Structure formats: C-alpha cells, structure tokens
Amino acid sequence: MSYEGDVLITAQTESFLLQKSVQEKIKLIYHNFITPKTPLDSADTIVEKEEEKIIDILTDSKARQKLSNNQNDIKHAANDFLREMKDYGLWGVGITSFDLSPIAAFGKKYSLNDVHEILRNIGFIPNISPLEWIYRTSFSANEQIQVCIIKSGVGPTVEDILFEPYFYLLFTDPQSYFGEFPAKLTSSFNSILG
C-alpha cells in the first residue's frame, strides 16, 4: 500500500480501545513532536530521545510505572476484595490505562491475556464519567461474564498536558449484584494510586 496526502500518523488499535483516548495520545504526539518540526523537511528527523517519549506515550509507560511503584499495596487490596466478594460472584479484578489497555490482572481465574479477550468480546463501550461505572456482558472460554468498568478519576499526567485516569475492571458472575461495592473498590485503589 502507498499513501499520498497529509497523513503524518496512522495507528492500528485493538477494537476495544477507547478511540477518543487513542486520539488524545496521537494529538499529544503531534503537538509535542511533529508541530515543532513544521514545515516538515527530510533533514528534520525524530531523535532517539523523542522516539522513546513517543513509545512511552503509546505504551502507557507512566501509568504502568505508577502501578508498578504501588504494586504490593494494590495487589494486597485486590486480593482482600476478591476474598471478601468471592461468595457474591467476584471472579477477578483488572486495571487498565485510560484507553482501556490492560496493565494488571488480579485473581486466579483470568490472566492479562484473558483480560484482552474479555475486552475484545464486550463491543461498544460508551464514555464513562469519573468515579462512575457501567456493566457490560462479555465471554471468555465460552463462559459469560459480567464486566463492571469503573473510571477511577486518578492517574498520571503525561508530558504535563494529558491526564490519563485508570479504569478498574470487575469480572463477575452474570447474576451478581454488587450495589455500591464498585465505589468501595474505587476509593481503596484511588487512595493508593491517587
């Protein structure tokens, strides 16, 4: 394939990623790394340091690092919630970046690869306001799952411009009802990651 015209950046993403969030990443890259080089000249290349920053933006490096720095506390809190809510149908907990890229999975039932599959099988995910949640149905290994998607309201700010709040995921039995449990988990995780 060959392209002609004004295309500077093209991206292929997972179907479940929040396209508005992906667009925000692309706009940040364009604003910070392409615009300063306009008008574009073949002698004006992206240097290694800029390339590393672009990769960090696309791979949610700052969100992953913040989670890694608090891994023990988050893992402990997630395991406490899994024990507390097991009899009510809570099967697993996940954390994603602000575009829904999975970055952590807790519990014995689902791996990070399983979380990718579960999100692929959800379909359309509407915008969610901070500190609110929605429920969606998905499947993994031919098993129906209810997924609660919570927008945390906390997360890193990338390049001092783009705020990237985490999403928390609850993987549950389709017949489960948790009432205000998502708010309890959000409060606990936010106190660690905020």
- Angle (CA) 156-101-67 rounded to 5° is 40
pLDDT at 7 over 70: no
pLDDT at 5 over 60: no
> In which band, very low, low, confident or very high, does the pLDDT at 6 lie, cut at 50, 70 and 90?
low
Q: Which of 3-12, 19-28, 31-40 has the highest mean pLDDT?
A: 19-28
What are the CA-CA distances from residue 102 to residues 97, 111, 115, 142 (Å)? 7, 10, 7, 21
| pLDDT for the residue 17 | 86
Sequence-distant (6+) residues with CB within 8 A of 41 are: none
Residues 51 and 55: their CA atoms lie apart, in Å, by 6
| pLDDT for the residue 161 | 92
What are the CA-CA distances from residue 49 to residues 39, 46, 52, 55, 63 (Å)? 21, 8, 5, 10, 19
pLDDT at 13 over 50: yes
pLDDT at 2 over 50: no
Instruction: Name the average pLDDT for the chain.
Output: 90
Q: Tell me the β-bridge partners of 147.
A: 136, 171
Element (H, E) at 158: strand 157-158
Query: How would you label 116-131 residue by residue, b for 16+ Cβ within 10 Å and e otherwise?
Result: eebbebbeebeebeeb
All structural domains of the chain, each given as residue ranges with its CATH number in brackets, are 19-59 (no CATH), 64-193 (3.30.450)
| Size of the chain in residues | 194
Pairing of strands 157-158, 162-163: antiparallel
pLDDT, average across residues 76-81: 97
110-161 pLDDT, tens digit each? 999 999 999 999 988 988 999 999 999 999 989 999 999 999 999 999 999 9
Peptide bond preceding 102 in cis form (omega within 30 of 0):
no
pTM of the model: 0.89
Sequence-distant (6+) residues with CB within 8 A of 26 are: 9, 11
| pLDDT for the residue 85 | 94
Percentage of the chain beyond pLDDT 70 is 92
